[in-house]
Structure 1
Amino acid sequence: MSKIDLYRNVHMGQRARLFTLAVELGTADISHRGTATEQSVRCLAMTQELREHADHEDTFIHQLLRERAPEAADALEAEHMRLDAAFVALDERARTLPTTPVDALADAQHALYLALNEVISAYLAHLHVEETVAMPALWEYASEKELGAAFAAFRASRTQEQALTDLRRMLPALPPPTRAAIVRDVIKAAGERAAGTLAAATTTLTPDQRGRLYEDLAVPEAWALQDPEYA
C-alpha cells in the first residue's frame, strides 16, 4: 500500500499550469485588443490561487508538521518569505499591464514574463522543500491515520464546486493510473450523481486523456453526459 502523500498530485497540477501560463504569456500577441487585460487577469488569478493553497497547507498540514518536525516547518517558513516577495512583484506588474501605453506594451509584457518566471523559480524551490523535506518528516513522525485525517479535513472543508475546481486543475497533469484512481473514488462517493460528477470533473482533460480515463474506468463516455446539471 502506497503512503499518503499530501503534496504530490496537487503540486503536479500547479507545475503544469505555471509552465503553461509562462509559455502562453511569452507568446501572446500583446497588440491584440484585450490580450493585456487577459494576461493580467491570469497572472493575478494564479498568485491568488497559490496564496490560497498556502493557507490550506498551513491549516491542514503544517500545524501537524510544526508539532512533529519543527525544523522542517522552519524551512518552509523561509521559503514563504521569498515567495511572498515574488508574488507582490508579479501582482504589481500584472496590474499595470492593461494601462501601459501602446509603445511600451512589448517591454511591459516581457517584464511581466520575467516576474512570472521569478515566481515559478521560487515556487519550484518551495515545492521541492515540501516534497523532499516536509513530507518525509511527516512520514517519519506522523501516523498514516493522522495524515489521512488531515487530508479528510481538507476535503470536508471544500464545497462541491471547489472540489470540482481542484480536480479540473489537477487531473490533466497526472499519469493515467493515478488519474483513474482519484476519479474512481470521486464517482463512488458521488452516488446517484456519479455520471454528472464525472462529466464535470473531466472538462479540462484532452480528448485522448478523457478517452483513456473512460477506458480505465470501464465506462462508456456517454454515461457521463446523463446528468444535465453537470453536462
Structure 2
Amino acid sequence: MPKIDLYRNVHMGQRARLFALATELGAADVSHSGAAAEHAARCLAMTRELREHADHEDTFIHQLLRERAPEAADALEAEHVRLDAAFVALDEQARTLTGTPSEDLPEAQHALYLALNEVISAYLAHLHAEETVAMPALWQYAGAEELGAVMAAFRASRTPEQAFTDLRRMLPALPPAPRVAIVREVMAAASHGQADRTLAAVSGTLSPDQRHRLYEDLGVPEVRAAG
C-alpha cells in the first residue's frame, strides 16, 4: 500500500495554479477595462488561499509534527518568515494596481508580476521543506493510522462545497492514476444516485483530454462536466 502523503497532491495543484497565474499576469493587457482589477483580485485571492492552507496545515498536520519531530517543525517555521513578508508585499502591489493611472499601468503591472514571483520563490522553498523534511519525519515517527486520522479529520472539517473546490483545484495537476483513484473514492462516498453528478462536478476543471482519460479509466460513458 502506498504511503500516506499529506502534502503531495495539494502541492501539485498549488504549483500548477501559481505558475499559470504568473504566466497570465505577465502577458495580460491590463489597459482593457476591468483587467487590472481582475488580475489584482486573482493575486489577492491566491494569497488568501495560501494563508488558509497554512492554517489548515497548522491545525491538522503540524501539531503532530511538533510532537514527534520538533526539528522538522522548526525548519518549517523558518520558512514562514520569508513567506509571510512575500504575501504582504504581493497584497500591497495588488491593491496599488487597481488605482494606478493608465500611463503608469505597465510599470505597476510588472511590479505586481515581480511580487507574485517572489511569493512563488518563497512558496516553492516552503513546499520543498514540507515534502523533503516534514513528510519523511512524519513517516519515520508517526504510524499510518495516525496519518490517516489526520487526513480524515481535515476532510471532515470541509463542507461539501469546499471539498469540491479542493478537488477542482487539484485534479488538473495530477497524473491519471492518482486522479482516477481520488475520483473513484469521491464517487463511492457520494449520496445514493449522485455519483454521476459528482463525477461531472469534480471533473469540470479538467482539460478535454484529461476528462476523456478520466472517464475512460473509470469505464463510464463520457458526459459534459459541470462548469
Answer yes or no: same fold by TM over 0.5: yes
Aligned to 1:76: 76
Normalising to structure 1: TM-score of the pair? 0.96
For residues 135-146 of structure 1, the aligned pairs below 5 Å read: 135-146=135-146
Partners of 2:167 and 2:22 lie apart in 1 by: 22
Aligned to 1:115: 115
Aligned to 2:197: 196
Partners of 2:138 and 2:108 lie apart in 1 by: 43
Runs of 4 or more, structure 1, over 3 Å off, are: none
Partners of 2:80 and 2:198 lie apart in 1 by: 35
5+ residue gaps, structure 1, are: none
Aligned to 1:170: 170
Aligned to 1:15: 15
Percent identity at matched positions? 77
Aligned to 2:104: 104
5+ residue gaps, structure 2, are: none
Partners of 1:25 and 1:127 lie apart in 2 by: 22
Aligned to 1:152: 152
Cα displacement (A) at 1:190:
0.4
Normalising to structure 2: TM-score of the pair? 0.98
Equivalent AA in structure 1 for residue 171 of structure 2: L
Cα displacement (A) at 1:18:
0.1
Cα displacement (A) at 1:30:
1.2
Deviations 1:68-123 (A, max 9, x none): 00000000001011100000000000011011011110000000000000000000
Partners of 1:159 and 1:128 lie apart in 2 by: 29
Cα displacement (A) at 1:191:
3.6
Cα displacement (A) at 1:221:
1.4
Aligned to 1:45: 45
Aligned residues: 226
Partners of 1:219 and 1:62 lie apart in 2 by: 39
For residues 53-92 of structure 1, the aligned pairs below 5 Å read: 53-92=53-92
Cα displacement (A) at 1:211:
0.3
For residues 203-214 of structure 1, the aligned pairs below 5 Å read: 203-214=204-215
Equivalent AA in structure 2 for residue 202 of structure 1: S
